[in-house]
């Protein structure tokens, strides 16, 4: 029985050695090649000092190298930490410091960025470069060891490294927006991921003939499905190049030409496809399954998509990164007049979800609202290096007093329908979704406040059909007219990723307070 | 301002967050997509700007990388569409 993620690869490599495992643009790699090169890299990592449980960063744009890195790190008994290559350097540096990354897999072009942010103290001891640049010449850091890709592929140690690991060991850490201004690292064990992977594999009958798209970047948890369910099935994983998803027509062409059979992405990508993809040109005859998660899919676009691609099955998947996926709903025909969003459905196999109302009772009646809790082996181990925050959200199960176990408090409000399906209503706090990204409005406010010319700031979300939410910031400068919108935008971009940047910044002389002295965000939101 | 200048000003201000036009070296034939200046977030924004500013409608078939490679190429697309529009009248 496979109980570690990397075992899924070794098994498929034994069964389907010559099948394409990963395809990216004109390049591809077979299962046996992927098994071999990941063994080679894993051996080198171990030889150069990577120990069981060490965090190894992947700081790369999406390519076959990033998939190789994932499996090699796991095979070395370490924990992989994907770092968004497009995020501001300071945020990447925070992640590297926060979880103590000493070894990084990256490309030559990123070295300058790293040098810039780590001028004071250089934390990296080992760097693996995926491009064949000569590293010695450019090595200003005597204490850093370098591995070139040439060394990886010419290594004669190509057998599976013998590393003992168990399924409660960590497999990866994914960083998401944190309300205090710094991202927080969600720790996922092999068991957490495998619980989801096994369920998805069975539920969607993924087979080796399937061709799965991989749209989500590695630091986004949707990628877990594409990579590990795909590899478990011995299917081919086709990486969607970043440039292509910018152009809906190209994306439609990509799905058709690559004979994609399973698509998984955030709804906004599919909405763009419906609006500008010229879908009537294609039949997408291989496309049998369309999965979406990360946000509410506007029903009008979902209905259009279902009309344009009628043969596919549609599923809405729900689950914060802390729980992988915990509920799902099979979307069947939607009535033309239907306006309310699709349900998030019922719990996945081997996972329990329940909602708790304001009286702290479990919701059982249709129409009743409550906050959703998740229980089961797909629930994460908590936040890296933050036991306090972990204790706040990963709670002892107070509904079961006989032995200790944890439940995760999602912060999501739901109601129940008469068939036992859940419907998502909204958040209990200031977290929002925009383009499927999870954003803590507090994190943006913290960044605004840290600017020396900002006296007060409040950030609100404006619901938007296409992207979920637009972000609007109200800013009171210390001195009137001392600050420009562009100055503030540039400052924000040094600290937060592009998708978190407020699309509207409005300067005010003052912000109205509530009776408790807090900025009245409800009033600001109602002004529009 | 001509079409190229308007595009440059918009791209620099809204997609690159450059305050001072003179301080930056964005060229009219700078590869915008390759350099990541236009990404999927900025692309929608840019097309909305073009449609409103130049009073044209960009067809779905025209939303392809070939038409958005550089400022010069985008300007070419805009001018062709304006020309087609005026010759119909």
Q: Give the number of other CB atoms < 10 A from CB of residue A107.
A: 18
| Candidate from B13, B38, B60 with C-beta closest to A276 | B60
A186 CB contacts (<8 Å, ≥6 apart)?
A: A173, A174, A175, A176, A321, A322, A380, A383, A384
Residue A208 is predicted with a pLDDT of: 97
Q: What residues of A are in the B interface, CB distance below 8 Å?
A: 86, 242-243, 245-250, 272, 276-278, 435, 466, 484, 486-487, 489-490, 493, 498-499
DSSP chain B: --HHHHHHHHIIIIIS--S-GGG----TT--TTTTTSS-HHHHHHHHHHHHHHTT----GGG-SGGGSSSHHHHHHHHHHHHHHHHHH-
pLDDT reported for residue A528 = 62
CB-CB contact of A407 with A397 (8 Å): yes
Distance from CA of B88 to the nearest CA of A (A): 25
Residue A48's nearest CA partner among A121, A122, A152, A169 is A152
For chain A, the straight-line distance linking the first and the last C-alpha, in angstroms and rounded, comes to 57
The parts of chain A modelled with pLDDT lower than 70 are 134-142, 528
User: Does A487 sit within 8 Å of B64, measured CB to CB?
Assistant: no
| Boundaries of domain holding B76 | 3-88
pLDDT in tens, A75-98: 999 999 999 988 888 899 999 999
Q: What pLDDT, on a 0 to 100 scale, did the predictor assign at position B84?
A: 85
Query: At A121, is the secondary structure helix, strand, or coil?
Result: coil
Closest Cα of chain A to B40: distance in Å? 4
Kindly report the nearest CA distance between residue B89 and chain A, in angstroms.
Answer: 27
Q: Name chain A contacts of B44, Cβ cutoff 8 Å.
A: 272, 466
Q: How far apart are CA A119 and CA A493, in angstroms?
A: 20
**Least Cα separation, residue A247 to chain B (angstroms):** 6
Cβ A187 vs Cβ A221: under 8 Å: no
What is residue A518's predicted lDDT score, i.e. its pLDDT?
A: 80
* DSSP state at residue A342: P
Structure tokens at A376: 């089961």
Q: List, for residues A304-361, the tens digit of each pLDDT value.
A: 999 999 999 999 999 999 999 999 999 998 988 888 889 999 999 999 999 999 999 9
* Contacts with A250 from chain B: Cβ below 8 Å: 64-65
Tell me the two tokens of residue B8. Answer: 């440059």
Global pTM? 0.90
- Joined together, the tokens standing for residue A167 give 């399924």
| Residues β-bridged to residue A345 | A422
Q: What is the CATH number of the domain that holds B35?
A: 1.10.1200.10
Residue A349 per-residue DSSP state: T
Give the model confidence (pLDDT) of B5-50 as tens digits. 999 988 888 887 665 455 456 889 888 888 778 887 788 889 989 9
What's the Cα-to-Cα distance from A218 to each of A85, A214, A415, A483, B33, rounded to whole Å? 10, 9, 32, 37, 22
The closest CB to that of A248, out of B17, B18, B63, belongs to B63
Indicate which of B9, B41, B62 best probes the interface with A, i.e. most A CBs within 10 Å of its own CB: B41
Beta carbons within 10 angstroms of residue A418's beta carbon: 8
Q: Which residues of chain B approach chain A closer than 8 Å at the C-beta?
A: 13, 17-19, 33, 36, 38-41, 43-44, 60-61, 63-65
Q: What domains does chain A contain, in order, with CATH numbers?
A: 25-189 (3.40.50.12780), 240-427 (3.40.50.12780), 431-526 (3.30.300.30)
Query: Which chain A residues are Cβ-neighbours of B39 within 8 angstroms?
Result: 86, 242, 246, 498
Cβ separation B65–A246 shorter than 8 A? yes
Q: pLDDT at position B43, please?
A: 86
Backbone angles phi, psi at A184, to 5 degrees: -120, 145
Under 8 Å CB-to-CB from A210, ≥6 apart: which residues? A230, A233, A235, A236, A261, A262
Contact between residue A71 and residue A34 where contact means Cβ atoms under 8 Å apart: yes
Could you tell me where the beta strands, DSSP code E, fall in A86-190? 103-106, 126-129, 145-147, 170-176, 184-189
Nearest to A164 by CA among A240, A259, A270, A51: A51
Q: 3-state DSSP call for residue A129? A: strand
Tally of domains within chain B: 1
Asked if B41 lies within 8 A of A435 by C-beta distance, the reply is yes
């Amino acid at each position: 029985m496979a109980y570690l993620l990397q075992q899924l690869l070794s098994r498929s490599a034994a069964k389907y050695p010559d099948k394409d495992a990963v395809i990216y643009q004109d390049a591809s790699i077979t299962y046996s090649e992927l098994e071999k090169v990941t063994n080679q890299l894993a051996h080198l990592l171990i030889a150069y000092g990577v120990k069981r449980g060490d965090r190894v960063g992947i700081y790369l744009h999406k390519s076959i190298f990033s998939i190789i890195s994932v499996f090699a790190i796991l095979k070395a008994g370490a924990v992989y930490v994907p770092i968004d290559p497009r995020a501001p350097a300071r945020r990447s540096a925070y992640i590297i410091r926060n979880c103590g990354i000493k070894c990084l897999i990256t490309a030559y072009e990123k070295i300058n960025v790293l040098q810039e942010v780590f001028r004071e103290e250089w934390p990296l001891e080992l760097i693996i470069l995926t491009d064949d640049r000569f590293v010695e010449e450019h090595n200003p850091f005597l204490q850093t060891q370098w591995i070139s890709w040439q060394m990886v592929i010419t290594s004669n140690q190509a057998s599976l490294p013998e590393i003992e690991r168990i399924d409660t060991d960590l497999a990866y850490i994914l960083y998401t927006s944190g309300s205090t201004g710094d991202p927080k690292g969600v720790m996922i064990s092999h068991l957490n991921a495998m619980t989801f992977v096994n369920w998805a594999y069975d539920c969607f009958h993924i087979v080796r003939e399937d061709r799965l798209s991989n749209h989500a970047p590695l630091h986004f948890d949707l990628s877990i499905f594409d990579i590990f369910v795909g590899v478990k099935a011995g299917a081919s994983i086709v990486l969607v190049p970043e440039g292509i998803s910018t152009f809906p027509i190209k994306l439609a062409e990509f799905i058709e030409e690559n004979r994609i059979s399973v698509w998984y992405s955030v709804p906004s990508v599919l909405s763009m496809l419906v609006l500008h993809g010229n879908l009537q040109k294609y039949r997408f005859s291989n496309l049998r399954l369309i999965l979406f998660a990360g946000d509410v899919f506007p029903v009008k676009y979902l209905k259009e998509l279902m009309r344009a691609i009628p043969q596919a099955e549609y599923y809405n998947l729900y689950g914060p990164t802390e729980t992988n996926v915990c509920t799902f709903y099979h979307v069947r025909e939607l009535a033309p007049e239907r306006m309310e969003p699709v349900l998030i459905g019922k719990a996945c196999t081997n996972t329990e979800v329940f909602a708790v109302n304001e009286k702290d009772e479990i919701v059982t009646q249709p129409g009743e609202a409550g906050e959703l809790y998740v229980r089961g082996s797909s629930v994460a181990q908590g936040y890296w290096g933050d036991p306090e925050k972990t204790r706040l959200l990963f709670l002892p199960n107070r509904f079961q007093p006989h032995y200790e176990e944890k439940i995760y408090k999602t912060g999501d409000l739901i109601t129940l329908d008469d068939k036992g399906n859940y419907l998502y209503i909204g958040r209990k706090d200031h977290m929002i979704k925009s383009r499927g990204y999870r954003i803590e409005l507090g994190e943006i406010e913290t960044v605004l406040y840290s600017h020396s010319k900002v006296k007060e700031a409040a950030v609100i979300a404006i619901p938007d059909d296409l992207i979920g939410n637009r972000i609007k910031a109200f800013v009171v400068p210390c001195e009137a007219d001392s600050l420009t919108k562009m100055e503030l935008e540039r400052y924000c971009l040094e600290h937060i990723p592009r998708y978190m940047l407020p699309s509207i910044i409005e300067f005010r002389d003052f912000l109205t307070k509530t009776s408790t002295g807090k900025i009245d965000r409800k009033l600001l939101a109602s002004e529009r | 301002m001509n079409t190229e200048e308007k595009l440059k000003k918009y791209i620099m201000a809204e997609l690159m967050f450059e305050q001072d036009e003179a301080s930056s070296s964005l060229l009219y034939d700078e590869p915008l997509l390759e350099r990541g200046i236009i990404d999927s977030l900025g692309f929608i924004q840019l097309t909305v700007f073009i449609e409103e500013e130049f009073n044209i409608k960009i067809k779905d078939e025209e939303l392809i990388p070939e038409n958005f490679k550089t400022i010069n190429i985008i300007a070419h697309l805009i001018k062709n569409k304006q020309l087609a529009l005026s010759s119909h009248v």
